[in-house]
Amino acid sequence: MVAHFSRRLRVVVVLVFVVVMSVPLTCAGRMGGSRQKLEVQKHLKRLNKPALKTIESPDGDIIDCVHVSHQPAFDHPFLKNHTIQMRPNYHPEGLYDENKMSSESREYKSSSITQMWHLGGRCPEGTIPIRRTKKADVLRASSVKRFGRKKHRGIANPRSADPDLVNESGHQHAIAYVQGGKYYGAKGTMNVWEPKIQHPNEFSLSQIWLLGGIFGEDLNSIEAGWQVSPDLYGDNNTRLFTYWTSDAYQATGCYNLLCSGFIQINSEIAMGASIFPVSGYGGSQYDISILVWKDPKEGHWWMQFGNDYVLGYWPSFLFSYLAESASMIEWGGEVVNSEPDGEHTSTQMGSGHFPEEGFGKSSYFRNIQVVDGSNNLKAPKGLGTFTEQSNCYDVQKGNNGDWGSYFYYGGPGKNPNCP
Ligand SMILES: *[C@@H]1O[C@H](CO)[C@@H](O)[C@H](O)[C@H]1NC(C)=O
Ligand SMILES: *[C@@H]1O[C@H](CO)[C@@H](O)[C@H](O)[C@H]1NC(C)=O
Ligand SMILES: *[C@@H]1O[C@H](CO)[C@@H](O)[C@H](O)[C@H]1NC(C)=O
């Protein structure tokens, strides 16, 4: 039903949702200590749904196995009558065709990446694993309202990279991108690292962005990858994450399942849970594949992790521009540079080493692809690269048989050439 809404109606839908959700939350800021405590309790109750089974992960996480129809998405007023899609109608062509991979790349593919909480057990069929939000997680946020949402609105915008804006927001990128077409999905395989974060309110991530709309105004964004964010998770572990917004990070959207939006169907992978193992400098390399694509039938944006896990989908009605298609795709790294001590942060991007060092030492994205209007995966045409300060974090693209379109990216941040 929702799929037939006009764009104008969809915008109304989103606005109504914002009002409904923000009333109890914005009150928190104005309340005194004990009322604030109550607000935190209430928020935790909203986020943490009754579990059929609970699993303790060695990294300190608690994973709740929640019945699929009790997940946070269904708190959304417009999802009350939603029929969960348990599988996408269409996969992009070639999705499972891993035969094109060389035996060499198949080798590091087979070094299987999993999530640390699996060491503590598995969730039963019909449930989804949700990382439990603890009181301390919410208290680390500047307010209940800000918890699980992006603080800064920095996003790489190579089109009109306004130097002042770019540098003011403190976000630094090293990315590859395509723009100007109609994109119905994106894929990429990235190796996984555990970058060092200098200051707890900074983060380092590597991800795919699917973008539509206008930067800073009404940008629609779907993002997925891995991140280290002490502020969000309370530790330095590398975690699988997603993000979405339909208004340039202002009122809508959140990380993972920390608000109503993403509908998860998979019982094996938890959003926000640690990825294990990670790559070592000069040692074993571990990579993950992420594919996000728009189902041509229902219009929802689906996400797949690796070759085996279809995690779920963002319903089309969450978005305005992305209800049709994306107009820009980005792949790469982002860090926050809060300039602790008045100097450039030493927070690392990717492996913390520059692209020149190559395989085994630098971080990479390989086999990056976009989904075209016929639901086919294609090499991106006219791939550009962008970085604010290449002496701090850099990017270098290439192309070959096994890796298709690829690039190395990242860096150490602060160094003699990046004071
Ligand atoms: C959901 O279904 C019920 C019963 O059919 C109906 O009364 C209600 O208006 C529906 N809600 C939405 C949001 O569509
Ligand atoms: C950001 O600031 C740094 C240091 O002031 C400068 O070297 C760099 O050129 C700026 N970046 C952009 C994109 O203008
Ligand atoms: C995270 O790493 C920083 C140094 O990079 C360290 O100071 C901090 O104690 C670590 N935090 C946790 C929770 O391990």
Q: Domain limits at 340?
A: 2-148+161-410
Count of domains for the chain: 1
Query: pLDDT tens across 140-185, in order?
Result: 887 887 888 876 555 555 543 343 444 456 889 999 999 999 999 9
Ligand 3 binding pocket mutation candidate from 236, 338, 345, 347 (most atoms within 8 A of CB):
236
Nearest ligand to the CA of 74 is 1
Which are the contacts of 266, defined by CB distance < 8 A and separation ≥ 6? 128, 309, 310, 311, 312
Is 417 within the bounds of a domain? no
CA distance 262 to 382: 31
Is 223 an annotated catalytic residue? Answer: yes
Active-site position among 39, 194, 202, 223: 223
163: CA distance to ligand 2 center in Å? 6
Query: pLDDT tens across 26-84, in order?
Result: 333 434 578 888 888 988 988 899 999 999 999 999 999 999 999 999 988 888 889 99
Instruction: Say which residue the tokens 């699980």 belong to.
Output: 148
Is 363 within the bounds of a domain? yes
Is 155 within the bounds of a domain? no
Query: pLDDT tens across 79-97, in order?
Result: 888 999 999 988 896 544 4
Shortest-distance atom of ligand 3 to CA 196: 5
Mean pLDDT over the full length of the chain: 84
Is 73 within the bounds of a domain? yes
Nearest ligand to the CA of 390 is 2
Is 418 within the bounds of a domain? no
Is 219 within the bounds of a domain? yes
Is 416 within the bounds of a domain? no
Predicted structure pTM score: 0.84
- Ligand 3 is surrounded, with C-beta below 6 A, by 196-197, 230, 235-236
